[in-house]
Structure 1
Amino acid sequence: MAHIDQLKQILHRVEKGQQTDEDITFLRQLLSAGDRQIVSQLGKYNINIGEGRDIHIGDRIYQQWDEQAIQALVKAIQKVNWRCVSNLTENDYTQSTGVSIIDKLAKTFTDFSQKNVMRYGLKLAFSPNHNQEYFVSAVYQVIKHWKINTWEILQEIPIPNHLDMFTSITISPNAQLIAACTQYQIQIWRLGEKTALHTLSKTIFSNFFDFFGFDSITFSPDGKILAANDNRDIKLWDVESGKEIAKLSGHCDKVTCVAFNPTNGRILASCSYDKTIKLWDIDSKRCLGTLSAHRDAVYTLAFSPDGEILASGSNDNTIKLWHLNTGEIPQTRRHHSDAVTCLVFSPDGKTLVSGSNDETIVEWKITENELQVFPERHRRGITSIAFSPDGETLISGGRDQTIKVWRR
């Protein structure tokens, strides 16, 4: 244990570039000894010991802890841009019965379902207002309103009549409204109030044989329109009145995500299990074009802050960057080993952060082919990520029912 504590202190000094020659000598001795507890501490820097004791650092493999490996280790540690400063754990809904064989089977089934049902897991949204620093989370029958820095829960909105999980949550551009949806219902609240301003439900006839309801909601840039997928369609509501104002149809399979262009509120993007992305003019209610390059279902979309790039993440494990104004062939970013489930641009537009079913979060530089893997994982995969307005804080949620708070 003393060695673990000492190693942590050394790694902390290496992160800041304050390591001494004695630190490096001691570090090499510990690593050469091959203690698995010590080696496991390096996992958060994306350093792993493979079969046959191969040392994997980045995209290089070393056979022993020689000078080159130690130098690569130091660079890898100092390259990490994000540190997890808080873990806010929610309830894990895998309950114990006290009967070991039943608990084991239940755990196996839960892990499988939570890994493969895309909508399952924590959903998060960050206030876009610099003067109102808060974020909201939604998972199961309750929405929580969190304070930044202290990470206190300021308010809880219980939704006791719904047995299904929340599938999406969003905050209006003026940070005064919160909207969240379950499979069959959308609700909108004013900040600080527990009684819904509007409840937008699917009709009995529309959902009687429809197991694929609302999965993604978003406010228009002016906050006047709320858009959501409804199985293969996209529906638009007037936020003030709560009335449905349009339905957009064109996908031939379930729509998975909708996103407004932040600089042109007339343009809405949608993606689908049909492997395509569509761009819509909501004024004329017509499809402006279809983007096809993914080889499997497209799960998530995000516009850059200037509205010029649309990023898409897919079950083919790739991210595509679509330059909408130039019509260039989309750039492909590959690193994830499983489906890309969520995307968000940094407020300055210089980086894109992705979450995946492979349990990792990756930050990508837009203008350079560089990436950085976050130093901790979410068990069972990532389901939501969101940036603070200043770009210095990021929150992530996963199927492990944990919210991780990251700081640069």
Structure 2
Amino acid sequence: MKLASLKTVANAHNDSIWAVTWAPATEARGALLITGSLDESVKVWKGDELEQDGMHTGHSLGVVAVAAHPAGSIAASTSLDSFVRIFDVDSNATIAVLETSPSEAWLMQFNPKGSVLAVAGGGSASVKLWNTSTWRLDASLSVLKADTSVKGAEKTSGKFVLTTAWSIDGELLACSTMDGTVGIFDVSRGKLIHYLEGHNMPVRSLVFSPVDPCILFTASDDKHVRMYDAKNTGLVCAMSGHGGKVHSVDASPDGGALATGASDRTVRLWDLSMRASVQTITDHADQVWGVAFRPPGGEGVRAGRLATVSDDKSINLYDYS
């Protein structure tokens, strides 16, 4: 397996690009790339051409996360302004604006059915579940154990929730925190079932395997990538190689590889059968904040793609084979 450079868009935004995702293909078009920047904008780009196809504005501070609905028609963005904006990917029309308390809207992900948007709750030490039919808050899942003592409540600051991820069957929801622990929820019961431990610094990115609902990958400021059996709390392996904080991790649609981006300005490709890094890309001139594999689907689409974004304001696109 390898990555081969296809295209670079320099100065794709006017400031650092911290967020990237793909809106899946629909009957009318192929997959679109969505990026979010500290310049307060969200941009939509056409597939392999990386030609700008739209721009969504409205945030008053930098955009920290973007997420796409599995149907490909709508997307969400979160910002340092603590609002979640829902918009139509093709028309850029605003569908809803979700207001949260300060510091309570961070990274997010739609569940596999598209019925729920899970938003990392930051300082509230929770994950907020928004109903995508009504855009109302359905539930708030606390990452603190129900029996936490008053004395233990002082640890709440360490449970600042940074990001979320859904298992492919929608039964498990993971969230990561500033203190390095990862909480696993049983979604049907709305209950925190256990913590995954091992990282000793913030975990900024999570992704479940696209082929195994139990396997979770984590990326941390401690420079490590870990692979867990999230259902049974087991550590499968830990992988190292980056020389800086690992900001982002994504799994290839075939389940055979991971891509990671880090503060050391590199993107790494990891072969999961070898559980090792097999390629290091040094095309970015600054910290890499996001990596995203293109989801399968779309007429005539066969080749894999990986998009990466950075503090250097650029977008890089690679062929994955």
Q: Shorter chain as normaliser: what TM range?
A: 0.7 to 0.9
Root mean square deviation of aligned Cα: 2.3
Unmatched segments (≥5 aa) in structure 1: 1-41, 46-79, 94-119, 368-408
Correspondences of 1:280-319 after superposition (within 5 Å): 280-319=228-267
Secondary structure, aligned partner of 2:214: strand
Question: Larger helix proportion, structure 1 or 2?
Answer: 1
Match of residue 313 from structure 2: 359
In the other structure, the counterpart of 2:118 is 179
With over 3 angstroms needed to count, the CA separation of the structure-2 counterparts of 1:209 and 1:336, relative to structure 1, is: same
Amino acid in structure 1 at the alignment position of 2:109: T
8 Å contact from structure 2 (residues 239, 276) kept in 1:
no
State the distance in 1 between where 2:154 and 2:202 align: 14
Q: 1:1-400 maps to which residues of 2 (within 5 A)?
A: 81-93=49-61, 121-129=63-71, 133-139=73-79, 140-159=81-100, 162-164=101-103, 166-184=105-123, 185-203=126-144, 205-206=152-153, 208=155, 210=157, 213-230=160-177, 231-327=179-275, 329-348=277-296, 350-367=304-321
Q: 1:129·1:173 contact (CA, 8 Å) conserved in 2?
A: no
Deviates more, 1:141-150 or 1:219-228: 141-150
| Offset at residue 194 of structure 1 (A) | 3.8
Which whole-Å deviations, capped at 9, do the CAs of 1:212-257 have from their partners, x for residues lacking one? 6111101110111110112211101111221101111111222221
Residues 189 and 195, structure 1, Cα contact 8 Å, conserved in 2: yes
Q: 2:162–2:175: 8 Å Cα contact kept in structure 1?
A: yes
Is the CA contact (8 Å cut-off) linking 1:141 and 1:158 kept in structure 2?
yes
Q: CA deviation at 1:267?
A: 0.7
C-alpha displacement of 1:341 = 0.5
Distance 1:329 1:209, change over 3 A: closer
1:85 to 1:287, Cα distance in 2 relative to 1, 3 A: same
Q: Distance in 2 between matches of 1:222 and 1:266?
A: 9
Distance 1:238 1:340 in 2: 32
Displacement after TM superposition at 1:284 (Å): 2.3
Instruction: Give the equivalent residue in structure 2 for 1:59.
Output: none
- 1:263-318 Cα distance to aligned partner (Å, 9 max, x none): 11111011111111110012321101110111111111000001100111111000
Considering Cα pairs closer than 8 Å and 6+ residues apart, tell me whether 1 or 2 has the greater RCO: 2
1-structure distance, mates of 2:158, 2:63: 18
> TM-score, normalization: structure 2?
0.75
Q: Is the 8 A contact 1:281 1:287 kept in 2?
A: yes
User: Structure 1 counterpart of 2:174, which letter?
Assistant: A
Which amino acid is 1:134 matched to? I
Identity %: 22
Which residue in the other structure is 1:71 paired with? none
Contact 2:105/2:121 (CA < 8 Å) preserved in 1?
yes
Aligned counterpart, 1:385:
none
Tell me the distance in 2 between the aligned counterparts of 1:329 and 1:194.
41
> TM-score scaled to structure 1, two decimals?
0.60
Gaps of 5+ in 2: 1-8, 13-47, 145-149, 297-302
Change (3 A) 1:182 1:233: same
Contact 1:212 1:254 in 2 (8 A): no
Aligned partners of 2:216 and 2:230 also within 8 Å: yes
In structure 2, distance between residues paired with 1:44 and 1:136? 23
Partner SS state of residue 330, structure 1: strand
In the alignment, the residues of structure 1 paired with residue 208 and residue 50 of structure 2 have an alpha-carbon distance, to the nearest angstrom, of 28
Q: Between Structure 1 and Structure 2, whose CA radius of gyration is higher?
A: 1
User: Contact 1:218–1:260 at 8 Å: present in 2 too?
Assistant: yes
The 1:92/1:195 distance shift into structure 2, 3 A limit, reads closer
